[in-house]
Amino acid sequence: MNRIEQTFQLLKKNQAKAFVPYIMAGDGGLDCLVERLKLLEAYGAAAIEVGVPFSDPVADGPTIQQAGIRALNNGTTLKGIVVELAKAREVVKIPIIIMTYLNPIYAYGITSFIHDIQKAGVDGCIIPDLPIEEEEMIAPELTAAGIELIRLVTLTTPLERIKQIAARGSGFLYTVTVKGITGTRNEFAGDLNAYLQAVKEVSPIPVLAGFGISNHEQMVTISKYCDGVVVGSKIVDLFAKNSLAEMKKLMSVFKQKTNIV
């Protein structure tokens, strides 16, 4: 059984929700990546999304764009990240999921990339600019390697299509909670809860909500209707400011509620 599946089974058994932080690899220097992943695991992360910097991140807001530019200026490459993730695998037990735009994988070579991340012990892959119409170029090889392709659905995805995407599902279904790009938000659309419920109802795999989530209140509300949350820009911001105490507190939200993980 894949590490992601195991994690969600355990969470389910404990009736707990998943907190999945996103981190920009290479922001602050690639050599601190392993330490940061260890820290996030210690703070209670259920899994970690490791972002790969890209020159043209069209799905990302200013916080992650800036972090990506800092990482690229540090000379961060996808090859370098994979090397670090192999080291991380020796000390981090929770699932590691790579989140990258397609072109860095394309340049790496799809087959070499999958070979290398499998060897590095990566559990999943999120590619925000790869809709199901185009995934044939990579999905079968990922599946063969036992790496979960995490697919996204959004507020604009019609219910029929949500069903189609969820049915292909591996790992978990990443539900985008805003019409827009990544970044913290004060408010969500009024119909968000109904949307999450609808997604949860048709999905055979766990449902995580992400984009725009940055505080306890949002997490508690949103996680009522799904299996957990992904928090990106806020975590990136807290690492950039080195506000580790605040990060620890932010990530304790579900532990306080459930006393598990």
Partner 1 sequence: MTAYTLPNETGHFGQFGGMFVPETLIKAITELAAAYEVAKQDPEFNLEMERLLKEYVGRETPLYFAENLTKYAGGANIYLKREDLNHTGAHKINNAIGQALLAVRMGKRKIVAETGAGQHGVATATVCALLNLECIIFMGEEDIKRQALNVFRMELLGAKVVGVTSGSATLKDAVNEALRYWVANVDDTHYLLGSVMGPHPFPLIVRDFQSVIGKETKQQFLARKDCLPDAVVACIGGGSNAMGMFHPFIEEEEVELYGVEAAGQGIDTAFHAASLTKGKPGVLHGACMYVLQDKDGQIQEAHSVSAGLDYPGVGPEHSHLKEIGRANYHSITDQEALDAFQLLSKLEGIIPALESSHAVAFAIKLAAELGPSKNIVVCLSGRGDKDVDAVRARLKGGNK
Q: Is residue 60 annotated as a catalytic residue, yes or no?
A: yes
Question: What amino acid is encoded at 261 in this protein?
Answer: V
Closest to partner 1 by CB, 32 vs 69, is 69
- Contact flag: residue 112 with partner 1 (CB under 8 A): no
Closest to partner 1 by CB, 73 vs 197, is 73
- Contact flag: residue 142 with partner 1 (CB under 8 A): no
Cβ–Cβ under 8 Å, residues 126 and 97: yes
Bridge partners, residue 96, by sequence: 48
- Contact flag: residue 55 with partner 1 (CB under 8 A): yes
Q: Is residue 227 annotated as a catalytic residue, yes or no?
A: no
Closest to partner 1 by CB, 75 vs 146, is 75
Residue 7 C-beta: closest distance to partner 1, Å = 24
Closest to partner 1 by CB, 134 vs 246, is 134
The tokens describing 230, both together, are 């992904």
| Best CA proximity match to 75, nearest among 41, 25, 122 | 25
Identified binder of partner 1 from the candidate list 8, 19, 43, 108, rule CB under 8 A: 108
Stretch that binds partner 1, among 19-27, 32-40, 76-84, 197-205 (CB under 8 A): 76-84
Stretch that binds partner 1, among 18-26, 35-43, 153-161, 220-228 (CB under 8 A): 153-161
DSSP state of 68: H
Q: What residues from 209 to 238 belong to the interface with partner 1 (CB under 8 A)?
A: none
Closest to partner 1 by CB, 130 vs 251, is 130
Quickly tell me which residue has 């990544």 as its tokens: 182
Identified binder of partner 1 from the candidate list 131, 140, 243, 258, rule CB under 8 A: 131
Q: Which helix (H) or strand (E) holds 47?
A: none
Q: Return d(Cα 261, Cα 254) in angstroms, integer.
A: 9
Q: Return d(Cα 145, Cα 121) in angstroms, integer.
A: 11
Quickly tell me which residue has 């090889």 as its tokens: 141
In the chain the beta strands, taken as DSSP E runs, fall at 18-24, 48-51, 96-99, 124-126, 148-153, 173-176, 207-210, 228-231
Q: How far is CA 80 from CA 69, 101, 108, 164, 207, in A?
A: 16, 16, 11, 35, 31
Interface residues toward partner 1, by CB under 8 A: 54-59, 61, 65, 72, 77-79, 101-108, 128-131, 133-134, 152-158, 161, 176, 178-181
Report the catalytic residues. 49, 60
